[in-house]
């Protein structure tokens, strides 16, 4: 099957397993950022750590997480930011993860480190994409690192050799291939669930605020391994077309 893609971000995504996008829907992006500013009670999200006792970080994060997920407008605006890109990368019948996740990574905090992983390794669909929306400019260790799809596959082939060593050994061995994403507020990242990524201790002097949420084609298969990440535990169907509704309601005639 030879499929040619016209748009640069489609080509980038196919080649690298991720792409950086310039957000078009500024109205929705502004809604999201304004809401976060209000909930964080600080004027500049980058400086959030200045008046924070680090022990309260996770409690505050969970509180904001709860509030944004209670706000249906927030969810709609988040989807609006990504909709056109998802249409071109995933499809127009879409499932969206139940919750939008929030990361607040303050400088020198070790409790928010996420070790190297691919979401599909944790049982999610191999057809899934992860949307990542920074609410501040992110760079170096304030950002996250990714490995492109080809290098991820290379590591995957040798993964079992590292079973009793841990992922740091892999990270250090292939360090030169991992790239901390430089991304500004107003841009977004979409990456495949099959690429390796993670974050490290934030050694900059600024706090990173970012949101993430997973999407997949409505009928895209679940992970090949039997895992606890059931469709209905993970996602809600967001965009369904009429033919699908008719199909879902179809019942075979019963012959007695």
Partner 1 sequence: MKILQGYTFTRNVEGLMIPTNIQSSILRNYCKDIGAQYKLHLDEYCFKNCYIQLHQIIKSRLKLDGIAVCSVMFFPSEIKELTKIFQLCKKRKIEIHFVFENIVFKKQAITPFVKYINENRQINNIVSK
Which positions touch partner 1 (CB under 8 A)?
Answer: 55, 58, 99, 110-115, 117, 121-123, 159-160, 162-168, 223, 225-230, 233
- The terminus-to-terminus CA distance of the chain in angstroms comes to 44
Cβ nearer to partner 1, comparing 150 with 168: 168
Nearest-approach distance from CB 145 to partner 1, in angstroms: 15
Distance (Å, rounded) from C-alpha 190 to C-alpha 89?
A: 9
CB atoms within 10 A of CB 129: 26
CB of residue 94 to partner 1, shortest distance in Å: 21
- Residue with Cβ nearer partner 1 (25 or 167): 167
In the complex with partner 1, the residue whose CB is nearer, 10 or 101, is: 101
Where do we find the tokens 């909709």?
A: 83
**Distance from the Cα of residue 66 to its chain's centroid:** 18
Minimum Å gap between C-beta 200 and partner 1 is 10
Contacts for 71-79: CB closer than 8 Å, 24+ residues apart: 71/35, 73/31, 74/31, 74/32, 74/35, 74/100, 75/100, 76/28, 77/28, 77/29, 77/31, 77/32, 78/28, 78/32, 78/133, 78/211, 78/213, 79/238
Closest distance of CB 141 from partner 1, Å: 14
CA dist., res. 198 & res. 191, Å (int): 12
Cα separation of 167 and 93, whole Å? 35
Kindly state the smallest distance separating residue 103's Cβ from partner 1, in Å.
9
To partner 1, the closest distance from the beta carbon of 107 in angstroms equals 15
Report the C-alpha gap between 193 and 129 in whole angstroms.
5
CA torsion sign, 29 to 202 to 18 to 228?
negative
Minimum CB distance to partner 1 smaller for 31 or for 132: 132
Q: By C-beta, is 180 or 231 nearer to partner 1?
A: 231
Residue 41 Cβ vs partner 1, minimum distance, rounded to whole Å:
22
The smaller minimum CB distance to partner 1, of residues 117 and 205, is found at: 117
Which residue lies nearer to partner 1 by CB, 162 or 174?
162
């Amino acid at each position: 099957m030879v499929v040619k893609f016209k748009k640069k971000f489609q080509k980038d995504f196919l080649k690298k397993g991720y792409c950086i996008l310039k957000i078009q829907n500024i109205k929705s992006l502004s809604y999201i950022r304004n809401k976060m500013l209000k909930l964080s009670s600080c004027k500049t999200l980058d400086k959030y750590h200045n008046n924070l006792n680090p022990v309260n970080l996770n409690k505050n994060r969970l509180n904001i997480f709860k509030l944004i997920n209670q706000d249906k407008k927030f969810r709609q605006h988040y989807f609006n930011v990504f909709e056109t890109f998802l249409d071109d990368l995933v499809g127009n019948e879409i499932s969206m993860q139940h919750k939008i996740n929030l990361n607040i990574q303050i400088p020198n905090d070790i409790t928010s480190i996420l070790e190297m992983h691919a979401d599909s390794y944790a049982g999610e669909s191999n057809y899934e994409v992860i949307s990542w929306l920074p609410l501040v400019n992110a760079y170096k260790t304030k950002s996250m690192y990714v490995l492109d799809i080809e290098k991820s596959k290379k590591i995957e082939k040798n993964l079992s050799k590292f079973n009793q060593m841990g992922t740091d050994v892999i990270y250090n061995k292939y360090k030169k291939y991992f790239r901390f994403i430089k991304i500004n507020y107003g841009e977004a990242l979409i990456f495949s669930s099959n690429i390796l990524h993670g974050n490290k201790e934030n050694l900059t002097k600024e706090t990173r605020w970012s949101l993430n949420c997973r999407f997949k084609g409505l009928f895209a298969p679940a992970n090949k391994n039997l895992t606890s990440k059931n469709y209905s535990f993970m996602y809600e169907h967001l965009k369904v077309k009429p033919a699908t509704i008719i199909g879902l309601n179809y019942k075979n005639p019963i012959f007695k």
